[in-house]
Amino acid sequence: MAQLLQAAGGTASLGLLSLWIAVVALAALVFQALGAVKIKRFPITAGIAVLALLAIPLGGVLKVSRPIVRKLRPYVTHTESPAIAVAPPAALGAAISTNSCTIFPADNVWNASVRSLPALPDSPQMIQAMGPEAPVHADFGKNAGYQYAVVNRDIPPANVTLTDYAEESDRGPYRIPDSAPLEASGDAHVLVMDEAHCQVYELFGAMHTGAGQWSAAAGAIYDLRTNMLRPNGWTSADAAGLPILPGLVRYDEVKAGRIAHALRFTTPATRNIYVWPARHKASNKPDPALPPMGQRFRLKSSFDMSSFSPEARVILTALQEYGMLLSDNGSRWFLSGSMDSRWPSNIVDQLRAVHGADFEAVDTSSLMVSPDTAQVKR
């Protein structure tokens, strides 16, 4: 009930409810004093008064029901996440055609293999702090995960009002359609890929406030044709200052049989530092055993995936080849992906057979050209 009240406006809703009860009580006294005979002489006036009194609770019911409807919608509707082009590994370092848009150049850190890189000396300590026995949770499926929009035509910029982290947010323009899906959870993310301008727009704490109108606690724009990172110290729609959309396990890639980029995951506790390519920390804990934001992890090459389904093997192979980036404080070993009705119903159970002890922290320092670019060495 407390969550519903908060979603509906919290103490403001309680105040309106109290006011409405007082108005109803006053109206009842007026009707009683006038009597039924006099009220019948003015039926239109009485009808308008009754409708006015009913309008407030009906509006409140609609507002309280919105977060519930958003959470129930995936269970009763068919959802298919849009396909997105990927950068071909064979084009390492090559410029992307102006006639196509893929998620970052091929020489971007998200698209770099980490299979042959050394593990960090303190990898065992990090894994121990993160929970070696805890299973991987596929935070995606038919009824879970991120929804995103793909815009392939030029649309007018939306008016986006930035609030809590405005000083660390990009000013725009944000070409976000009114139909862009809004995450039903407390983070209220909005993710949009603009193929017409080859950009990704991501909002955190978003609200759709009207036609062409959005508000958000934080906003970030990523030019997908460059290797630019956010300014040092800036957050984004994610705690680490990294993009969310490029790190999702997407159904279209799994169906095609290959994921050629790093994935995104969360853990409950992180250290009070961040490492390349992250730009922001989200902790005050100095414990050296905790992983820093932006740390890359890889599924060990010794992990046996022969018993897994073809779909799961695509994901596990990506975790061995490209690994996953720690992007936010959240649930333990939660691997982020797209909400899609086409996911196999057993994908979550399959990935639960993978545990924290099956991973290792990777030393990616040899890839870095500069701490202020996501470009990697050839």
**Structure confidence by residue, pLDDT tens digits, 65-122:** 445 444 545 555 678 999 987 655 544 334 333 447 899 999 999 999 999 999 999 9
Would you tell me how many other CB atoms lie within 10 Å of the CB of residue 98?
8
Q: Is the pLDDT of residue 284 over 50?
A: yes
Residue burial 290-305, b: 16+ Cβ < 10 Å; e: rest: bbbbbbbbbbeeeeeb
Q: What is the mean pLDDT of the chain?
A: 86
Q: Is the pLDDT of residue 124 over 50?
A: yes
Domain layout of the chain by residue ranges: 2-76, 89-367
Q: Please give the pLDDT value at position 97.
A: 39
Q: Please give the pLDDT value at position 299.
A: 98
Biggest alpha carbon–alpha carbon distance for the chain: 90
pTM over 0.85: no
**Structure confidence by residue, pLDDT tens digits, 304-362:** 999 999 999 999 999 999 999 999 999 999 999 999 999 999 999 999 999 999 999 99
Q: Please give the pLDDT value at position 358.
A: 98
